[in-house]
Structure 1
Amino acid sequence: MNDTRLLTRRSVLAGSAALGLAAALAACSGSGAGSGKPLKFWNMPWGGVSFNPLDKKISQAYRPAHGLPPVTYQAVQWANFVATFASAIASKTGPAVSSGSGTQAFQFAEQGQIAYADDLLDSWKKNGLHDDFLPGLLDTMKTPKGYVAVPYNLDMRALWLSAPLLQKAGVQAPTDWQSYLDACEALKKIGAYGFGISAGPQGNGFQVLVGLLINNGGGLFDEEQKPRCVTDENVQALEFVVEMIRKGYVDPGSVGYSTDNAQAQWKAGKFAMGFEGPGLASNLGGTFTKDIVIGDPLTGATGKKGALFFPNNIMMYTNTPSQKGSEAFLTYYYKNMAPLWTQHTGIGLPVLRSIAETPEFKSDPNAAKLISDWQPICKTWAAPGGDALFANVTIVDSTTPMTDWAQNVLSLKETPKESLQTLQTRLEGALKK
């Protein structure tokens, strides 16, 4: 699985002030016969070093039908990717098809730059691809005007456990918030922290906290897609976090930790439980690939289950040499992209059942459990108001108000309700800009 730092760079607003185009683009290469101007496919480095070479090979094997354009492939690095896409789209030199940030399609759709995927998805009803998607995933892409993109790979924040540390502490894996607290108390006695989190500017602490809000039936947006932070469910979830902080179950340094710092604590045997991305075990490497395991989804204080996930996607643009060509290439690509997962290139979790059910993918029990047990209960940033993403979720995706909120909670600068009131005010202010 891939580095969570790659999968969490979703906000197309986060770097919108960037002016340079420093993102290194891999060399373009044509693919196959065809006619007319080539169709550009840009993809991100979603996995390890083997991902883009294999992805390029799959893309270049495409042979368009007569009259449709061939495809060129570019790997777009995450560094300055916001400016890279924004400038290319504005100058009409961008891709016809691309991945990118998880909310990018929703932003460009507002600018009239996205070719909606309704016709493509309708055509997939005939070849079985439409029904191959995991439950609820297509709904996350649906807007009143149509489907802005097609789900491609999944990231989520799920519970990881250090099996050796839990065994040393003599405690069972938690199944709800109370048993989680009990496990934390046992782990504290052996010098380990039960709630590993990184809330610094380069961490994902705000995602972990939102995941707990969702776990308790809460979240940040209402049915009208407006911020609604101060709810009983959200306050209760943060009170759970504060209890863990006051009881010493949280590393005091977590308020400033980066993802790298958190991984160092896992390696040092200081973090025994925590909510991280699918790639944690492989990122830690060594014996950790077997020593840390995915736990069961927790039942929150309200009796509900839930977690935060990110349906990364592939989108089509109105600036294409051929819309039929864009759709034909994506049909080919989705039919042939399975090796990206079966060869364990490090891409996020698959969106298609046919890939998730392969013996090669299921050979990783943690990845298999994420699909079978966690994906069905996951929700997007839009929770609890709905499943579909929308343009304004960018105000909570890797933004300063969210990082500040997480740090305020962990440092106990504000009570749970006060921190949510502050966050509400800042998100409303962000929408007015």
Structure 2
Amino acid sequence: MSTYNGVSRRKFLKMSSAVGLAIALGGGLSACGSPSAPTPSATQVGGGATSGGSSPVRLDFWDMVWGPPEYIQTAKDLVKQFNDEHKSIQVNYRSIPWNNWYQTFTTAIGAGTAPDISTGAGYQAVQFYDSGAILPVDEVIEEWRKSGELEDFVPGSVDILKYDGHYVALPWAIDIRIPWYRTDMFEKAGVKEPTNWDELRAALKQLTGNGKYGMVASNDTGGTHYLYFFILNNGGGIFTKDRKLDWMNPRNVEAIKYLSSLVKDGSVSPASAGYSGDDASKAFGRGEAALKIDGPGFDQGFPADTAKKMAILPPIKGPHGDLGTVYWINNIMLYKQTKDPEATMEFLKWWSKNQKPLWTKGHNGQLPARKSFASDPYFKNDPRLSFINDKWVPVGKTVATHAPSIFPQLNAVEGQGVMQTLIQDILQGKDPVESMQKAEPQLKAIMGES
């Protein structure tokens, strides 16, 4: 589901937006925390001294909790493997919980105790780069461009992380939103998989009745993903190629009006206006709604007898023939405070090439950014994961669309509440154009265009 270790995407976006504002007002990262960094809740793996008495380079790697307990153990095992293979570089692994994650990083940076390398949320690298804390990985990208290694990454995933003329991080995982549906409800209603917006609208109407609804959504950040889904599915985008706000363009308006029409048809559960993401998931699980937009691991949150009744729609064509959905490229980044950039980049490259067990053994709920990992039997033999990788990932787009890459203000766009208010208005049946117009000044303020 749309959570990281029990912390909703809305909560961690909201936390990081608040701290980001404190950074801006305080003039620097050090203004956000106390003089000493908090000790992350962590399992740790370190290495011993090298033979012959020479001291190895020691690196700190902070990794967010991206899966169940076996994920952390798998990551520890990988670090141990690296340490065993590289006696001159020894890495200390720390698993960082999502609760207070932003404060953990900003306080450490302000205190001069940042890690050498970390994973993090989708916009973390560009936010910290703007604060002078991130070491670009340009030389790794150039080396891999020449060797052909970059060809192993999902197209576009590397360049999405280019900001201010530099590659600020390396992609490693993809979080994407897809339409899940209940096969039992479709079969009972005699509904076939819709292939376009007209068919989807008709299908949701046909699925609605007797206390059941065609679709369920929520009033939080999970609900905003429906906005991005339909905007991007219609060939729209919130920004221009040069990162200017383009909110009220015809494709965006058409998409939000379409979503509103589903609500006015009565096809969207009216409880959605008061639902959290978890509430909506439970309603879907109880068979109260036939369709919900969620992440790749959505089915893993249900009992086996419910999960087997779930399937994924193929990409749906918008009214102009466009395909699309929203995704986020989660990344791994280096920090300028590292005392040994060369050793840190060595570990970065090794980790990127050897982290497949994070999925095959650690059951990471995202999808890999490397095509070679996605071709592993772990994915190919799972019809749902294989379907998402083959059909949905190629049409994924970021919230930054039509800008070519991400930028710091996206965190506020997603997390400060403007999009949450918009989806609440739509789910309450308010006029879609007026609701979009109400959101526009807030989006302009975020982008510094007001």
Residues 354, 11 of structure 1: alpha-carbon distance in 2 compared, 3 angstrom cutoff = farther
Letter in 2 for 1:341: W
Matching residue of 1:399: 416
Q: Which whole-Å CA distance do the structure 1 matches of 2:70 and 2:297 have between them?
A: 15
Matching residue of 2:397: 379
Select which of 266, 277, 281 maps to 1:248: 266
Select which of 422, 432, 444 maps to 1:416: 432
Counterpart check, 1:330 vs 2:348: yes
Q: Secondary structure at the match of 1:262?
A: helix
Residues 361, 297 of structure 1: alpha-carbon distance in 2 compared, 3 angstrom cutoff = same
Residues 272, 344 of structure 1: alpha-carbon distance in 2 compared, 3 angstrom cutoff = farther
Q: Secondary structure at the match of 1:135?
A: coil
1:23·1:81 contact (CA, 8 Å) conserved in 2? no
Counterpart check, 1:310 vs 2:313: no
Deviation (angstroms), 1:68 = 4.7
Matching residue of 1:13: 16
Deviation (angstroms), 1:232 = 1.0
The number of residues matched between the two structures is: 429
Matching residue of 1:278: 296
**Structure 2 counterparts to residues 126-145 of structure 1, below 5 A:** 128-145=148-165
CA RMSD of aligned residues (A): 2.3
Deviation (angstroms), 1:225 = 1.0
Worse-superposed segment, 271-280 or 309-318: 271-280
Runs of 5+ consecutive residues of structure 2 not aligned to the other structure? 23-31
Task: Report % sequence identity.
Answer: 31
TM-score, scaled relative to structure 1: 0.93
Deviations 1:260-289 (A, max 9, x none): 101110111012112111111001232233
Deviation (angstroms), 1:189 = 3.4
Residues 266, 23 of structure 1: alpha-carbon distance in 2 compared, 3 angstrom cutoff = farther
Q: Secondary structure at the match of 2:89?
A: coil
Matching residue of 2:318: 300
Letter in 1 for 2:204: C
Letter in 2 for 1:84: T
Worse-superposed segment, 27-36 or 109-118: 27-36
Q: Secondary structure at the match of 1:160?
A: strand
Deviation (angstroms), 1:145 = 2.3
Deviation (angstroms), 1:14 = 2.8
Residues 32, 303 of structure 1: alpha-carbon distance in 2 compared, 3 angstrom cutoff = farther
Q: Which whole-Å CA distance do the structure 1 matches of 2:371 and 2:8 have between them?
A: 21
Counterpart check, 1:120 vs 2:140: yes
Q: Which whole-Å CA distance do the structure 1 matches of 2:310 and 2:319 have between them?
A: 26
1:117·1:149 contact (CA, 8 Å) conserved in 2? yes
Residues 26, 273 of structure 1: alpha-carbon distance in 2 compared, 3 angstrom cutoff = same
Matching residue of 1:162: 182
Letter in 1 for 2:170: V
Matching residue of 1:209: 227
1:10·1:102 contact (CA, 8 Å) conserved in 2? no
> Which protein is richer in helix relative to its size?
2
Q: Which whole-Å CA distance do the structure 1 matches of 2:379 and 2:7 have between them?
A: 21
Matching residue of 2:280: 262
Deviation (angstroms), 1:32 = 5.3
Counterpart check, 1:25 vs 2:41: yes
Deviations 1:219-261 (A, max 9, x none): 2111221222111111111111111111111111111211110
Deviation (angstroms), 1:393 = 1.1
Letter in 2 for 1:296: P
Deviation (angstroms), 1:411 = 1.1
Letter in 2 for 1:387: P
Matching residue of 1:108: 128
Residues 308, 7 of structure 1: alpha-carbon distance in 2 compared, 3 angstrom cutoff = farther
Worse-superposed segment, 130-139 or 339-348: 339-348
Letter in 1 for 2:189: A
Q: Which whole-Å CA distance do the structure 1 matches of 2:229 and 2:341 have between them?
A: 38
Q: Secondary structure at the match of 1:50?
A: helix
Letter in 2 for 1:391: P
Q: Which whole-Å CA distance do the structure 1 matches of 2:329 and 2:349 have between them?
A: 19
Deviation (angstroms), 1:368 = 1.1
Q: Secondary structure at the match of 1:136?
A: coil
Counterpart check, 1:429 vs 2:441: no
Residues 313, 11 of structure 1: alpha-carbon distance in 2 compared, 3 angstrom cutoff = farther
Residues 285, 399 of structure 1: alpha-carbon distance in 2 compared, 3 angstrom cutoff = farther
Residues 254, 141 of structure 1: alpha-carbon distance in 2 compared, 3 angstrom cutoff = same
Residues 259, 294 of structure 1: alpha-carbon distance in 2 compared, 3 angstrom cutoff = same
Matching residue of 1:152: 172
**Structure 2 counterparts to residues 331-370 of structure 1, below 5 A:** 331-343=349-361, 345-370=363-388
1:219·1:234 contact (CA, 8 Å) conserved in 2? yes
Q: Secondary structure at the match of 1:221?
A: coil
Residues 267, 402 of structure 1: alpha-carbon distance in 2 compared, 3 angstrom cutoff = same
1:2·1:47 contact (CA, 8 Å) conserved in 2? no
